[in-house]
Homo-oligomer: A and B are copies of this chain.
Amino acid sequence: MEEGLSGRFYIKTSGVRGGCGGGGTKCGRWNPTTEQVKVLTDLFRAGLRTPSTDQIQKISSQLSFYGKIESKNVFYWFQNHKARERQKRRRVSVDNKDTTIHREEKIPSPPTKHFAEVNHVIEPAERVIQTLQLFPLNSFDEPEPGEKFILRAGECREFSHTFGSDFIDHPPLDLRLSFY
């Protein structure tokens, strides 16, 4: 049993910092600003769960106003957010089991966290006008109880205003590379 212990170790052969050139640019990983997180969370709450590629592009462009961001950041954000929502839900679901040995659950337990969480304190700095023209259709990705309609690609194609009016259409993109 390699993983008999609770902790696994690994050897990192690279410096934690200075991976982007050693200069002043700290390119560790994307650190979203509060505004960016707010917009993303808002979109998620609005029902957007798996934005399409073009949607990701637009969102990323919009959020780039608040700081450095890439499309993949948006992509990962939604992936993680969605996955962890389900994860939590699943955890709670498993909690129903009569496991006598039930340690202290730490799902919703803020460990002596006595600070006011800034979740909805920003109201004048609403620069991004999120004109979410989302109209619910009968296409839920997953009928989770207590969840809104899922906004999938194709349903809502207008999040904001400054987005270019360039519509998107997926070209055939058929690469036939048959060498016989």
Residue-wise, chain A 38-75 has the 8 Å CB interface mask toward B (1 for contact) of: 00000000000000010011001100111110111001
Interface positions, chain A 71-122, Cβ under 8 Å from B, are 71-72, 75, 88, 90-92, 94-95, 97, 99, 101, 105-110, 112-114, 117-118, 120
Number of copies: 2
CB-defined contacts of A175 to chain B, threshold 8 Å: 147
Do the beta carbons of A33 and B106 come within 8 Å of each other? yes
CB-defined contacts of A20 to chain B, threshold 8 Å: 7, 117-118
* A141 on interface, CB distance cutoff 8 Å: no
Which applies to chain A's interface (DSSP): helix, strand, loop or mixed? loop
Out of B5, B7, B25, name the residue touching A110 (CB < 8 Å). B25
Do the beta carbons of B68 and A101 come within 8 Å of each other? no
Which residue of B has the minimal Cβ distance to A23? B2
* A131 on interface, CB distance cutoff 8 Å: no
Do the beta carbons of A10 and B10 come within 8 Å of each other? yes
Give the CA-CA distance A34 to B27 in the complex, in Å. 25
Q: Which A residues are closer than 8 A to B by beta carbons?
A: 1-3, 5-16, 19-21, 23-27, 31, 33, 35, 53, 56-57, 60-61, 64-68, 70-72, 75, 88, 90-92, 94-95, 97, 99, 101, 105-110, 112-114, 117-118, 120, 147, 149-150, 152, 154-155, 175, 177-180
